[in-house]
Structure 1
Amino acid sequence: MTDRTYRLVIRAALGLFALLGLRIEVRGAQHLPRHGGAVLASNHTGFLDFLFVGLVGRRRGRFVRFLAKEAVFDAPVAGAAMRAMRHVPVDRGHGEIALRHAVAAARAGEVVGVFPEATISRSWELRPFRPGAAAVATWCQVPLVPVVVWGAQRVWTVDGRWSLRRGVAISVVVGEPLHPLSDADPYAVSDELRDRMAALLVEAVDAYPDRPRDDTDRWWVPASRGGTAPGIAEGLHLDEEGMRRADAAAAAARTLRASQRHTRGARRQSSPTAAQ
């Protein structure tokens, strides 16, 4: 199976990065194996995180098959592209289905991309992790590679925050992989993964070259760092509210599309041409 669509998307993404003048630094890409299955686990701060994490795969000659929320696959153009790139849709109410697809991909030698926080963190700090990434790596006996992205929230993120400001710095830091034993507890492995990623996030924020321009530009800095982002507890509350709104909107959209398909089908059956 070819990855023509994936290559076209990569070219488009690189063009977008150049247009925005993004200053992207990728460190530690050598920790992702060039061959064989692997799980690439990343934090989540913006809508373009998968593009930046995908650069790690590009550095190693790999395509990353991401687990992404099902609503992305419902959009006509984006959904077709996501399927062509063999990404995996995730229904938060039935995550076990996506997990089975992720396991099959990892066992087939693919790199599986997972955001263990399950949604964008509004505090920009790490949310509690779901154990899916650790479970896939444990069951498939493949490396679990931690990665953090920092700065992506300044480009496009939740609550209508986006910017066309040129020259934003984006840091992508990859850590040494975990190699869980076959009988390891995925929850314990997930805790270790989170600890590794927390350390990488500190490293990324400490080394980040940009600073807020003024007090109104401190929104992208965590409260623990003197920024005006929500604190961890408030951020978790806002995240949960955001997920509920997103799930409700996705459900309403699916219902509307089903109704429209039903209406079109009924019209075709009742048309004079159909009657003949």
Structure 2
Amino acid sequence: MLNPWLGAKEDGSLPRPRKTGFWFALAALLLRPLLMLLTKRDWRGTEHIPREGGFIVAANHISYFDPIALGHFLYDNGRLPRYLAKSGLFTIPVLGSILRSMGQIPTYRGTKDAARSLRDAVAAVRRGECVIILPDGTITRDPDLWPMVGKTGVARVALTTGAPVIPIAQWGPQEVLSPYSKKLELLPRKTMRIKAGPPVDLSEFAGQELTGPVLRAATDKIVAAIVEQLEELRGEKAPPERYDMRKTGVPETGNPAKRQRGRR
């Protein structure tokens, strides 16, 4: 039975979005039954997903499969996910048009157009969208798949809009598709463990100029909230120090293991 005001189910989860558009509806029609059949779900903290209005999801990135798992989680809890996706995907015929029609946001990493992604993300949040930003910026390079030192774009969007930031941790997608692998491991069925936490309290940064130190401090607080959720999912403590690609010299793009083999 539905709550007539919030539209929430009795268990606190939300009905699936009604106005999805053609491509979202088609993707849900094709993918959701497969996901329900091929994966198990351990979803927690769904009460923290805003029922309406723009907000930011900040999540860890452990596999090429985790956008699918996270999208399933958000869709079944009443929100359409808007991802920041690599700009190259938008240049692929047909796929690029589909991504744009679904409201996905191209990122122009390492180019003069990089700021456009954040402007588009800000605009989407202000339109009332659910915008997903992965502070790692790439699949984590941490050997044990903990979140790394985060990129500050998530803090910039959050502090520019004043929208809530919901920290979400996921664990399980890497069992379906290990980092940088192209081989799906669907059987036996894997459990997608996803946990949303309460909004990150960024009130201490309100009204401050968005300087580097302010953005770094806000980002660190957001990443710490993701780690807190992930520690509960994994049942273990994260390392006291975040993995930092700048200190290790690991490249930000591509499979780092392949790069290392190529230098031998």
The TM-score range, normalised by the shorter chain, is 0.7 to 0.9
Quick check: 54-63 or 25-34, which moved more? 54-63
Shift of 1:60: 3.3
CA contact (8 A) 1:65 1:112 kept: yes
- SS where residue 67 of structure 2 aligns? helix
Cα pair distance change 1:239/1:158, threshold 3 Å: farther
Q: Tell me how far apart the structure 2 counterparts of residues 100 and 223 of structure 1 sit (CA, whole Å).
A: 33
> CA-to-partner distance for each residue in 1:183-236, whole Å, 9 max, x for gaps?
2533211111111111111111129xxxxxxxxxxxxxx997xxxxxx9579x6
Shift of 1:143: 0.3
1:46-195 maps to which residues of 2 (within 5 A)?
A: 46-93=63-110, 94-122=113-141, 123=143, 124-156=145-177, 157-181=179-203, 182-184=206-208, 185-195=214-224
Q: Tell me how far apart the structure 2 counterparts of residues 205 and 86 of structure 1 sit (CA, whole Å).
A: 32
Counterpart in the other structure of 2:254: 242
1:185-224 maps to which residues of 2 (within 5 A)?
A: 185-206=214-235
Quick check: 67-76 or 179-188, which moved more? 179-188
Shift of 1:67: 0.6
The structure that is helix-richer by fraction is 1
Shift of 1:179: 4.1
Shift of 1:9: 1.2
- SS where residue 172 of structure 1 aligns? strand
| CA root-mean-square deviation | 3.0
TM-score with structure 1 setting the length:
0.72
CA contact (8 A) 2:83 2:104 kept: yes
Cα pair distance change 1:245/1:125, threshold 3 Å: closer
Cα pair distance change 1:134/1:110, threshold 3 Å: same
Q: Percent identity?
A: 29
Amino acid at match of 1:136: V
Uncovered stretches (5+) of structure 1, i.e. residues with no partner: 208-221, 225-230, 247-276
CA contact (8 A) 2:149 2:244 kept: no
Q: Tell me how far apart the structure 1 counterparts of residues 52 and 201 of structure 2 sit (CA, whole Å).
A: 15
Shift of 1:30: 1.4
CA contact (8 A) 1:30 1:60 kept: no
Q: Tell me how far apart the structure 1 counterparts of residues 218 and 238 of structure 2 sit (CA, whole Å).
A: 28
Cα pair distance change 1:239/1:110, threshold 3 Å: same
1:10-49 maps to which residues of 2 (within 5 A)?
A: 10-19=28-37, 21-49=38-66
CA contact (8 A) 2:138 2:253 kept: no
Q: Tell me how far apart the structure 2 counterparts of residues 189 and 36 of structure 1 sit (CA, whole Å).
A: 22
Q: Give the alignment partner of residue 7 of structure 1, picking from 4, 25, 38.
A: 25
Q: Tell me how far apart the structure 2 counterparts of residues 59 and 116 of structure 1 sit (CA, whole Å).
A: 23
CA contact (8 A) 2:180 2:255 kept: no
Uncovered stretches (5+) of structure 2, i.e. residues with no partner: 1-18, 209-213, 259-264
Shift of 1:98: 0.4
Quick check: 188-197 or 237-246, which moved more? 237-246
CA contact (8 A) 2:86 2:106 kept: yes
CA contact (8 A) 2:21 2:102 kept: yes
CA contact (8 A) 1:37 1:142 kept: yes
Larger radius of gyration: 1
